[in-house]
């Protein structure tokens, strides 16, 4: 039931913001912390939680710690979400794919 962990971890707005920033690619802590309404140590703490939840991974690069997304950490959550759809799931998947393609095309 790792989806429970993922939900709990992503429930906090600040932590979620940090997580979302990683969509743009791997980043060091100070960059992730920039512009956020909290201190840098707070971001470090959030990153620790994200890491323990398997949502993020870390590598050292000199004095920096580069954090990046671990999408596998979202898998169970996604499957859990799927479990709420019954026969309508197929239809939804098609629709989701359609809207995804149209977004992709409009760029």
Partner DNA sequence: CATATACGTTAGCTATGACTTACCGTTAGT
Partner DNA sequence: ACTAACGGTAAGTCATAGCTAACGTATATG
Using CB under 7 A, list all residues that contact DNA.
11-12, 14-15, 28-31, 37-49, 58, 60, 62-65
- Under the binding rule (CB under 8 A), the answer on residue 88 touching a copy of itself is yes
Contacts with 2 (C-beta within 8 Å, 6 or more apart), sequence order: 53, 54, 73, 76, 77
- Under the binding rule (CB under 8 A), the answer on residue 91 touching a copy of itself is no
Convert 23-60 into a string of H (helix), E (strand) and C (coil): HHCCEEHHHHHCCCCCCHHHHHHHHHHHHHCCCEEEEE
Q: To the nearest whole angstrom, how small is the minimum distance from the Cβ of residue 52 to DNA?
A: 10
Closest to DNA by CB, 24 or 86: 24
Closest to a copy of itself by CB, 40 or 85: 85
């Amino acid at each position: 039931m790792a989806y429970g962990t993922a939900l709990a971890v992503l429930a906090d707005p600040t932590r979620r913001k940090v997580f979302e920033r990683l969509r743009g690619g791997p980043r060091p802590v100070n960059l992730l912390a920039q512009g956020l309404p909290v201190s840098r140590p707070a971001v470090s703490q959030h990153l620790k939680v994200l890491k323990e939840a398997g949502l993020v991974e870390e590598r050292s690069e000199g004095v920096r710690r580069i954090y990046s997304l671990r999408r596998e950490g979202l898998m169970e959550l996604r499957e859990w979400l799927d479990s709420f759809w019954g026969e309508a799931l197929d239809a939804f998947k098609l629709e989701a794919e359609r809207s995804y393609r149209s977004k992709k095309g409009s760029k």
